[in-house]
């Protein structure tokens, strides 16, 4: 039996597993699909494993843990912003392996991340620097860590056909792994976003790397003036902070939002 914890970050939900013993096989695609199935399994947008840092270099850096993420279709996922915040809460509040909640360091597929536990269930996560904002599929394109995002600005976002349009964008990309599609409407200085995620192959209630990509694109295109961007997604609110460099690159990017443990269970 394997103990799991169900988490969500603004409605973006995950099955969280302590895999420091290495017993859970993340490469078993059929098992991942079954566990993430919302009718026949636990139900989630993906599975996240907390593991010990594996390489000698990572061990020397003294990372608190390693994050491994799989999408609910069984494919190995890139960095997940909401999942990153959830695993930080998992490490601190459930596993209790974190000594300093204001100085958390972990390693993920896109490199090192720093985080801190804030009050009221909020977690602040540092993301990778972003450079070379460009155009792909005739839309603004941002690579957030290793996660590609298109951004489309629309009207009447509430009624916009996110699933149909998002799937077309996802499958039209030259990258064989596809691309995430974010649909944006700015009202009263609030950036409203809905996202179609590859790997999930559907709209998700929130997307952390999508929120970051939208904030950076809005800054780059001068649609917002502040270095703090408030993002409203169907599952909840996220905040993105950043510093803009003279060469239109961005550093010190932080994603802040909720990380909620919903329940604990056991799986075979």
170-194 pLDDT, tens digit each: 998 777 789 999 999 999 889 999 9
* Residues 127-150 pLDDT 10s: 999 998 999 999 999 999 889 999
Residues 232, 148 within the same domain: yes
Number of H helices, E strands in the chain: 5, 17
In this structure, the answer to whether residues 108 and 194 fall within a common structural domain is: no
Catalytic residue among 36, 80, 86, 144: 80
Stretch 220-241: mean pLDDT? 96
Whether 86 sits among the annotated catalytic residues: the reply is no
Q: Is the model's pLDDT at 27 over the cut of 70?
A: yes
- Tens of pLDDT, residue by residue over 58-110, are 766 789 999 999 999 999 988 899 999 999 999 999 999 999 999 999 999 99
Backbone angles phi, psi at 175, to 5 degrees: -70, 120
Both 109 and 209 in a single domain?
A: no
Residue 56: band (very low, low, confident or very high) from pLDDT cuts 50, 70, 90: low
Catalytic residue among 36, 144, 207, 218: 207
**Do residues 149 and 198 both lie within one domain?**
yes
- 44 backbone dihedrals φ, ψ, rounded to 5°: -170, 160
- For residue 187, list its beta bridge partners: 190
Q: What is the model's pLDDT at position 108? A: 94
Helix/strand/coil for 246: coil
Do both 6 and 121 map to the same domain?
Answer: yes
The CATH number assigned to the domain holding 68 equals 3.10.310.10
- In a shared domain, residues 140 and 235: yes
> For residue 164, is pLDDT > 70?
yes
Same domain, 52 and 140: no
Range of the domain at 237: 134-257
CA–CA separation, 26 and 29 (whole Å): 7
Q: How confident is the model at residue 11 (pLDDT cuts 50, 70, 90)?
A: very high
Pairing of strands 65-71, 202-204: unpaired
Mean pLDDT of the chain: 94
Residue with tokens 């895999």: 19
249 and 180 in a common domain: yes
92 plus 184 within the same structural domain: no
Asked if residue 58 and residue 47 are part of one domain, the reply reads: yes
Based on the fold, state whether residues 192 and 78 are members of the same structural domain: no
Catalytic status, residue 80? yes
Please enumerate in sequence order all residues whose Cβ is within 8 A of that of 60, keeping only pairs 6 or more positions apart, or say none.
none
* Total structural domains within the chain: 2
- Residue reference for tokens 């997940």: 80
Question: 114 and 175 in one domain?
Answer: no
**CB-count burial class (<10 Å; 0-12, 13-18, 19+) for 53:** middle
Query: For the segment 241-260, what is each residue's pLDDT rounded down to a tens digit?
Result: 999 998 889 999 999 999 99
């Amino acid at each position: 039996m394997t103990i799991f914890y169900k988490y969500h970050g603004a409605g973006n939900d995950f099955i969280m597993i302590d895999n420091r013993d290495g017993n859970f096989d993340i490469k078993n695609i059929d098992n991942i699909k079954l566990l993430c199935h919302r009718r026949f399994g636990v139900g989630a947008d993906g599975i996240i494993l907390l593991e010990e840092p594996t390489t000698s270099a990572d061990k020397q850096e003294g990372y608190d843990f390693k994050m491994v993420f799989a999408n609910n279709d069984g494919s190995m996922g890139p960095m997940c912003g909401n999942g990153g915040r959830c695993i930080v809460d998992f490490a601190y509040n459930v596993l209790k392996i974190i000594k300093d909640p204001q100085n958390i360091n972990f390693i993920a597929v896109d490199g090192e991340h720093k985080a801190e536990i804030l009050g009221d269930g909020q977690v602040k996560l540092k993301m990778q620097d972003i450079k070379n904002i460009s155009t792909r599929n005739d839309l603004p394109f941002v690579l957030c860590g290793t996660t590609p995002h298109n951004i489309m600005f629309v009207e009447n976002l509430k009624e916009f056909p996110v699933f149909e349009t998002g799937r077309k964008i996802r499958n039209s990309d030259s990258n064989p792994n596809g691309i995430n599609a974010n649909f944006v409407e700015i009202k009263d200085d609030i950036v409203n976003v809905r996202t179609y995620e590859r790997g999930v192959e559907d709209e998700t209630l929130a997307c952390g790397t999508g929120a970051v990509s939208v904030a950076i694109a809005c800054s780059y295109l001068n649609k917002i003036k502040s270095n703090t961007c408030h993002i409203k997604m169907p599952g909840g609110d996220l905040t993105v902070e950043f510093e803009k460099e003279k060469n239109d690159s961005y550093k010190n990017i932080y994603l802040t939002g909720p990380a909620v443990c919903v329940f604990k269970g056991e799986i075979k």
